[in-house]
Structure 1
Amino acid sequence: MGFFDSMMGNAGNMDPQDVVNKLAEDRVLIDGERVVKAFNLFRDFVVFTDWRIISVDVQGLTGKKKSYETLPYSSISRFSVETAGTMDMDSEIDIYVSSATTPTVALEIRDNEALKEIQNLLATALRKS
């Protein structure tokens, strides 16, 4: 599917200041960029800043190797949300860019509050762009 598929299976909230500290080592954030929300899944995490989504894929035994992927909100054309049901406990957010027919980003989320927060973050970001 593409860009950080199914990244957030059992996502947990992360402290934004901890995220800033982690990203500072590799100078991922630019001057003035603000971390709005972040979620982790084991060692990997997804960061929502005031202008983009950053996926961090921590690799290897030591975790020193990392892969960073960025998706600016301005490139997002639409998103869809599927909430969990009785038998299907996963919710999903699909994010599309330009005229793509398949989602560029597919996030599976089991935390209903995280789903609501991400949906609100995306709607707010798309309203501004």
Structure 2
Amino acid sequence: MGLLDGLMGNASEMNEVQLEEELKEVIIAGEKIESGYKILRDYFVFTNKRLILVDIQGVTGSKKEFHSIPYKNIRHFSVESAGTFDLDSELKVWIAGVAGPIEKKFGKKSSNIFEVQQALANHVLK
């Protein structure tokens, strides 16, 4: 991902080897990373068992928050494409037991939002 893409909020697919290294303490036995997408510093990962959202915090990025969402708990998700005046695309995911959605913004030129939506649909709609 180029610097400009990152600043614009465009998602880019992450390298599986890099993801395995970064998530080695989070992944359990029998769990396989299938794909991952990065937006600025944050990223989300699809495994064969769950969706993992990684929130990079702080100036140095050494503090990370990991959200693990089993696919069976995802109740609803939506994708909103960018418009003429609204420059961001958005992905929203509703989780069982949580009132509001988890929202991730993508840049206007991000075509990967639909790749992310397809990966989510492939897991949730099984």
Query: For the superposition of Structure 1 and Structure 2, which TM-score range results when normalised by the shorter chain?
Result: 0.7 to 0.9
Q: Assess if the C-alpha contact under 8 Å between 2:11 and 2:113 holds in 1.
A: no
Tell me by how many angstroms 1:99 deviates.
Answer: 6.7
Q: Counterpart of 1:113?
A: 111
Say which structure, 1 or 2, has more relative contact order (CA 8 Å, 6+ apart): 1
Q: Counterpart of 1:18?
A: 18
Q: 1:66 to 1:100 in 2, by over 3 A?
A: closer
Work out whether 1:55 is the aligned partner of 2:58: no
SS in 2 for 1:118: helix
Q: Assess if the C-alpha contact under 8 Å between 1:77 and 1:99 holds in 2.
A: no
d(CA) in 1 for partners of 2:97, 2:54 = 26
Gaps of at least 5 residues in structure 2 are 1-7
**Quick one: percent identity of the two aligned structures?**
38
d(CA) in 2 for partners of 1:95, 1:70 = 13
Tell me by how many angstroms 1:61 deviates.
Answer: 4.6
Q: Counterpart of 1:3?
A: none
d(CA) in 2 for partners of 1:64, 1:101 = 30
Size of the aligned set, in residue pairs, is 118
Counterpart pick for 1:33 among 25, 31, 34: 31
Tell me by how many angstroms 1:59 deviates.
Answer: 3.1
Tell me by how many angstroms 1:97 deviates.
Answer: 2.1
d(CA) in 1 for partners of 2:79, 2:58 = 32
Return the TM-score normalized by structure 1: 0.77
After superposition, the CA RMSD in angstroms is 2.2
Return the TM-score normalized by structure 2: 0.79
Q: 1:116 to 1:42 in 2, by over 3 A?
A: closer
